[in-house]
């Protein structure tokens, strides 16, 4: 009997809008993984039959919404137990990377293409606990991260 390797679980997380579009553009790279997607939009029909979770939207100005979203993301993390967590932003992705790091998952942050002049606030926070911290703008790259490997768009 052949030794079959289990595919790693990957949790891909993004807010709606451009963050979600960018995440979907890199999704073909997840082909060897058992994927689940998380978004603030009701976008389950866009993930090709993969597991999908919707989380409430939140931002730094509404602390109660951040707590609610964080608890929802934590529940997803407990259920999915991902080996890899990747995000293109913003708040839900940052929270997912933090929880991912706490459970020993590899974490990847790809800062939004829209952040031309400076990294996003979420990107700066996520850089503290991302195993791989990327920017899509060469001039924002630094030796200690974020790193530039190209852009999605």
Which CATH number fits the domain that encloses residue 41? Answer: 3.40.50.2000
Any domain includes 119: yes
Whether 134 and 115 have beta carbons less than 8 Å apart is answered as: no
Q: Is residue 114's pLDDT more than 90?
A: no
Any domain includes 153: no
Q: Is residue 98's pLDDT more than 50?
A: yes
- Name the domain count of the chain: 1
Q: Which CA distances in Å does 152 have to 5, 64, 82, 136, 148?
A: 30, 33, 23, 7, 11
Q: Is 146 exposed, middle or buried (0-12, 13-18, 19+ CB in 10 A)?
A: buried
Any domain includes 32: yes
Any domain includes 26: yes
Any domain includes 3: no
Mean pLDDT of 87-94: 95
Residue 1: band (very low, low, confident or very high) from pLDDT cuts 50, 70, 90: very low
Q: Between 114 and 4, where is the model more confident?
A: 114
Q: Which domain holds residue 81?
A: 9-148
Give per-residue pLDDT as tens, 37-83.
999 999 999 999 999 999 999 988 899 999 999 999 999 999 999 99
Per DSSP, the chain holds a count of helices (H) and strands (E) of 4, 7
Q: What is the Cα–Cα distance from 145 to 88, expressed in whole angstroms?
A: 15
């Amino acid at each position: 009997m052949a030794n079959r390797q289990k595919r790693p679980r990957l949790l891909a997380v993004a807010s709606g809008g451009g963050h979600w579009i960018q995440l979907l553009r890199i999704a073909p790279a997840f082909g060897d993984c058992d994927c689940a997607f998380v978004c603030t939009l009701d976008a389950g029909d866009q993930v090709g039959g993969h597991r999908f979770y919707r989380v409430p939207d939140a931002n730094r100005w509404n602390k109660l919404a951040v707590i609610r979203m964080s608890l929802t993301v934590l529940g997803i993390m407990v259920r999915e137990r991902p080996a890899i967590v990747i995000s293109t932003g913003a708040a839900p992705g940052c929270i997912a990377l933090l929880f991912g790091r706490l459970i020993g998952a590899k974490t990847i942050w790809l800062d939004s293409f829209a952040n031309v002049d400076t990294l996003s606030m979420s990107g700066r926070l996520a850089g503290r606990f991302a195993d791989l911290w990327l920017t899509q703008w060469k001039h924002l790259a630094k030796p200690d991260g974020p790193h530039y490997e190209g852009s999605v768009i």
